Amino acid sequence: MEMDREPGKLEQIVSQFRSKILHVILESRVPSLHHQQQESLSLSRVRKTDKWFNLVLGDRPPALENLNFSLRNLLDPMVIDIILVRHGPCSSSVDNLYAPSAAAAGPSTETVIERWVVQYDCPRVFATPSGAEAAVSYKKIYKKCILLLRSLYSQMRLLPAYRIFRQLSLLSQTYNFDLIYKVSSFSHPFSREEEDGMKEYNFTPVEAPPGCLCVSVTYRTTLSDFNLEPLVSLPPKIITDYVGSPTTDPMRSFPSSERGAHAISFPSRGLRSPSSIPFQRPHSWSSGFHRGIPPTKTQSLAGSPPAYRTSCKPYDISSPPADLFGNRIQNHRVSTLQQATAYDEYKLSPPFSPSASPSTPTYLTGANPLLTRHCSETAPVTIPLPLTGRSTRYLSPNSSDPSRHSLPPLSPRSSKHDASSQESPSGIRSYRKIEALRAGESPSGLSNLYSAPKVVRDSKDDSGRFSGLLSSSGSPRIGFSRSSSRLSFQDDMDDCEFSCPFDVDDVDVSDSSSQNTESKKASEFTAQSNLVGKKSQDAAVGILVHLLRTAPPLRQDSSCYSTHSLKTEYDGGVGMASGFFLPRKTADALEELNSYREMKDLLLSKSGTQAVRKEGMK
Amino acid sequence: MNCEVCQLKELKVEHFEIREVLRCILHTIVFHRALGLLRPKDVDLELFEITYVQCGDVELEKKIDEKIDHFVSWVEKHPNKKSQICLSFYEVKSKQPSWFANKTERLYWEQWYVNLNVIQHPKRHSSKSHHTKVVVDPRESANEERSSHRVMVEASLREVLFQIIKFVNEKKDHLPPISEGVIYFPYEITIPSSSDSAFGMDMIKRMLHSGHPTMLS
């Protein structure tokens, strides 16, 4: 850059000097501007603005041009504040999780961590250097400006704020803080408290007669006081090992919450793909709000008993859980941000704290002491207590089919999708039916706790007992919906002292694998029926489920309850020894049916509804 | 013209840290003395959380790396010794040829002394003989000591870089004018030679060429 004695040369140097300094500061403190520069640096040609002070920085961002224009009075100081914005706990947690970069809904604190002051300190009255003196002066001034800019460029990378800038520049990570800048011609003085943690460095002024160019920086010596941490957000990924996935080991153990077992559910905001929600897992409890969505391998949002969704009468699926969950979600937004690492332990949980919202298990807990016990012992999430009323409401889903209310809310293992019953009224217990469950409609508020695959999985493991139960009742057994704690239930199945039909290990997993004879089943039924009085009501329910699984559906025509139909069913399913029924008499069958009815009544009495007695059975 | 001398703060470094430390310091100095048109290149150190700036000149980088290699070789032959690397900037002046002098001479106008104290990890030798006897504690303490050493070296290196910046800011008048098309001033890196006496002779020779006031009689 040749220096000559053109008038206004000094002003040009000072003006370009300020612009260059602003460019150097912002490109190493503002990630967005830095990225723009990186793109422009890729171009090989050097622009005119780059040649100033022999420092190629790339294109000047438009914001810089605007700033230069607004600060065109060279005698005014140019104050550049680098401000650290820390995003606090956000109330609107869900949205922020979906767009963590815009996590500004919550209260945020701003702290000036650097203040650069560039000023051409010039006396009011001055004398313009003349001729040769001016030329030499301009060259010296220009050289010294180059030196100052070099040292400023290096120092930018040594100050503590540079590390924050580098963190924010990583596009692969989002943080709960951000760096912004403010350029003005004045500055608010720091408070004494702020000054205590700051240090000042003054660059040697460049003599530019009649004045001198002064650059100084006041910076925080340490930024470790700020709680700067990355937002934990998982990149979109396909989760195949979700609860209920056929590929997931049902006996897989999941970590439990310190607070107990809380199922966590998403608010009813429509379908969100698992990939768009950090830490979201397609859990069964989320499926309740996403009705009619065909499940994919990675999506377990669907598949709950559709009947509950359609029968909105006794309850409202969306609002109460949504409200409850929404509130819980918001509350746990803080913990989400602050304890992001804890998410790894709660593989079942949505991106909220595991102790967040209650969900179906809450209701189940209230209705099913057994479930409560299970939840408290094993579940990774806490089930708030008690919500008997809600659970009751959830448990009486379908007014159109009173028989659907026959089954009380029991352990999550007993859940069954309505689809299975709807699709297989004959109570087929094959895995194909379970697949149909997965393709079923969204569940009720209870079954929304359970992912379809999970339920499917349980169904499969339960040897079709649930499917048989549902098929016989023809109603969505929301009461049997599972909670997230169900996952841990599976783990504890072996440890569960309570033997019930819901216990997978006690039940034939599949028809094809079942080797029990009818005589054994009858004896089991008799023995178990005797146990009803002895064991708790829940145990009785479990026994009934077991029996009903092996029994023809209650809603079947009378012909279905004939020995012939039983035989046919078993033959079709498993290839059982059909000869079991042959020696039996009709009286025996009727006696058995009466027992079934007693058990059913027992269940109905528990649920508070009266089943419609099947006529023609007697 | 005065020759400004800057003695940088001594750094205690281990053998494996020499390259990174020297690269950082030498490139930082040259960057501040490369007043031609350049595109700065940020380089992150691997061993320390420090980013320094290079000129982006490939030739310069090669030359500096060569000198560093020579220095490392020298250190291997002279372990546990304090050493000094001198980075000098000079002007080439033509003069009347004579019997004892060349046509051109170098006028050194600035010299930077990088002082290094290459140490060896104190636990290395002891751990070899005792690691079979003691299982855990010496290793943990060695790790802690290594990490504290690394922190100390990083802080010292940062201080040295600030020292360079301060010197560059304070001393500006002695720089020669910028030549057109030249990115950086001619420089020379002097490392200790095989003998200390030779190194001392180099220093004396340099001072004679630079016309240091104390050498003039």
pLDDT band at B87 (very low <50, low <70, confident <90, very high): very high
Element (H, E) at A617: none
The distance of B164 to chain A (nearest Cα, Å) reads 9
What's the CATH number where B113 sits?
Answer: 3.30.900.10
| Helical spans, DSSP H, in A177-243 | 192-196
**Mean per-residue pLDDT, A205-227:** 87
Reduce the secondary structure of B10-48 to three states and give it as a string: CEEEEHHHHHHHHHHHHHHHHHHCCCCCECCEEEECCCC
Contacts of A196 (CB under 8 A, 6+ apart): none
Residue with tokens 């053998």: B15
Is the CB of B40 less than 8 angstroms away from the CB of A146? no
The distance of A209 to chain B (nearest Cα, Å) reads 16
Q: Which residues of B touch A146 (CB under 8 A)?
A: 35, 178
pLDDT band at A60 (very low <50, low <70, confident <90, very high): confident
The distance of B183 to chain A (nearest Cα, Å) reads 9
Pairing of strands B104-119, B82-94: antiparallel
**Mean per-residue pLDDT, A199-208:** 91
Is the CB of B177 less than 8 angstroms away from the CB of A143? yes
Contact present, A604 and A405 (Cβ < 8 Å): yes
Classify residue A401: in a domain, yes or no: no
Measuring CA to CA, how many Å separate B72 from each of A230, A258, A562? Answer: 40, 56, 95
Q: Which residues of A touch B164 (CB under 8 A)?
A: 154
Which of B43, B50, B172, B185 should one mutate to test binding to chain A, selecting the residue with the greatest count of A CBs within 10 A?
A: B172
**Mean per-residue pLDDT, A79-101:** 66
Residue A380 pLDDT more than 50? yes
Bigger pLDDT: B117 vs B138: B117
Comparing C-alpha atoms, which of A41, A144, A394 is closest to residue B40? A41
Residue of B nearest to A28 (CA): B42
Cis peptide before B186 (omega within 30 of 0): no
Q: Give the pair of three-digit tokens for residue B204.
A: 């004396």
Specify the number of domains making up chain B.
1
Contacts of A62 (CB under 8 A, 6+ apart): none
**What is the model's pLDDT at position A310?**
40
Specify the number of domains making up chain A.
1
Residue A416 pLDDT more than 90? no
Bigger pLDDT: A206 vs A315: A206
In the beta sheet, which residues pair with residue B43?
B52
Is the CB of A54 less than 8 angstroms away from the CB of B35? yes
Measuring CA to CA, how many Å separate A403 from each of A422, A569, A608? Answer: 13, 22, 12
Nearest-Å Rg of the Cα atoms of chain A is 36
Contact present, A208 and A10 (Cβ < 8 Å): yes
Classify residue A221: in a domain, yes or no: yes
Interface A–B counts its CB contacts (< 8 A) at 70
Classify residue B213: in a domain, yes or no: no
**Could you read off the pLDDT of B128-178 as tens digits, one per residue?**
444 445 555 677 788 888 888 999 999 999 999 999 999 999 988 888 888
**What is the model's pLDDT at position A82?**
93
Comparing C-alpha atoms, which of A162, A149, A207, A154 is closest to residue A29? A162
- Beta carbons within 10 angstroms of residue A314's beta carbon: 16
Classify residue A282: in a domain, yes or no: no
The distance of B59 to chain A (nearest Cα, Å) reads 19
Is the CB of A147 less than 8 angstroms away from the CB of B42? no
Is the CB of B35 less than 8 angstroms away from the CB of A154? no
Predicted complex ipTM: 0.84
- Whether this prediction's pTM lies above 0.80 is answered by no
Is the CB of B28 less than 8 angstroms away from the CB of A203? no
Coil/strand/helix, residue A214: strand
Pairing of strands A108-121, A78-87: antiparallel
Nearest-Å Rg of the Cα atoms of chain B is 20
Q: Is B107 exposed, middle or buried (0-12, 13-18, 19+ CB in 10 A)?
A: middle
Residue of B nearest to A51 (CA): B37
Q: Which residues of A touch B156 (CB under 8 A)?
A: none
Bigger pLDDT: A114 vs A358: A114
In the beta sheet, which residues pair with residue A338?
none
Q: Give the pair of three-digit tokens for residue A45.
A: 């040609």
The distance of A188 to chain B (nearest Cα, Å) reads 28
**Could you read off the pLDDT of B35-71 as tens digits, one per residue?**
988 899 999 999 999 999 999 889 999 999 999 999 9
Is the CB of A55 less than 8 angstroms away from the CB of B35? no
What's the CATH number where A133 sits?
Answer: 3.30.900.10
Contact present, A602 and A540 (Cβ < 8 Å): yes
Residue A205 pLDDT more than 80? yes
**Mean per-residue pLDDT, A219-240:** 74
Classify residue A190: in a domain, yes or no: yes
Measuring CA to CA, how many Å separate B3 from each of A108, A612, B110, B161? Answer: 53, 108, 5, 21
Bigger pLDDT: A110 vs A250: A110
Classify residue B85: in a domain, yes or no: yes
Give the dihedral sign, CA A82/A88/A90/A93: positive
Is the CB of A163 less than 8 angstroms away from the CB of B35? no
Residue with tokens 């303490």: B141
Amino acid at A214: C
User: Looking at A41-55, A158-172, A538-552, B163-177, which range is the least confident one?
Assistant: A41-55
Classify residue A191: in a domain, yes or no: yes
**Mean per-residue pLDDT, A12-22:** 90
Residue with tokens 């612009």: A19
pLDDT band at B101 (very low <50, low <70, confident <90, very high): low
Q: Which residues of A touch B177 (CB under 8 A)?
A: 139, 143
User: Looking at A47-61, A253-267, A284-298, A573-587, which range is the least confident one?
Assistant: A284-298
Residue A453 pLDDT more than 90? no
Q: Give the pair of three-digit tokens for residue B5.
A: 């001398």
For helices A9-27 and A62-70, angle between their N-to-C axes, nearest 10 degrees? 130
- CB-closest option in A54, A56, A153 to B53: A153
- CB-closest option in B31, B52, B178 to A150: B31
Contact present, B184 and B36 (Cβ < 8 Å): yes
Residue with tokens 């979906």: A98
Query: Within 13 A of A54's CA, how many CA atoms are on the CB side?
Result: 26
Is the CB of B31 less than 8 angstroms away from the CB of A154? yes
Comparing C-alpha atoms, which of A26, A80, A106, A83 is closest to residue A223? A83
Bigger pLDDT: A317 vs A608: A608
Q: How far apart are CA A19 and CA A613, in angstroms?
A: 88
Pairing of strands B104-119, B11-14: parallel
Q: How far apart are CA B208 and CA A162, in angstroms?
A: 43
Q: Which residues of A touch B162 (CB under 8 A)?
A: 155, 158
Residue of B nearest to A152 (CA): B165
Range of the domain at B107: 4-95+103-119+143-198
Range of the domain at A36: 9-88+107-225
Rounded to the nearest integer, the mean pLDDT of chain B is 82
Is the CB of A54 less than 8 angstroms away from the CB of B28? no
**What is the model's pLDDT at position A512?**
46
Q: How far apart are CA A321 and CA A384, in angstroms?
A: 13
**What is the model's pLDDT at position A253?**
67
**Mean per-residue pLDDT, A110-129:** 79
Q: How far apart are CA A22 and CA A181, in angstroms?
A: 11
Share of chain A above pLDDT 70, in %: 35
**What is the model's pLDDT at position A254?**
61
Burial A273-306 (b: 16+ CB within 10 A, else e): ebeebbbbbbbbbbbbbbbebebeebbbbbbbbb
Classify residue A134: in a domain, yes or no: yes
Residue of A nearest to B33 (CA): A147
Pairing of strands A211-220, A177-184: unpaired
Residue A229 pLDDT more than 60? yes
Classify residue B54: in a domain, yes or no: yes
Rounded to the nearest integer, the mean pLDDT of chain A is 61
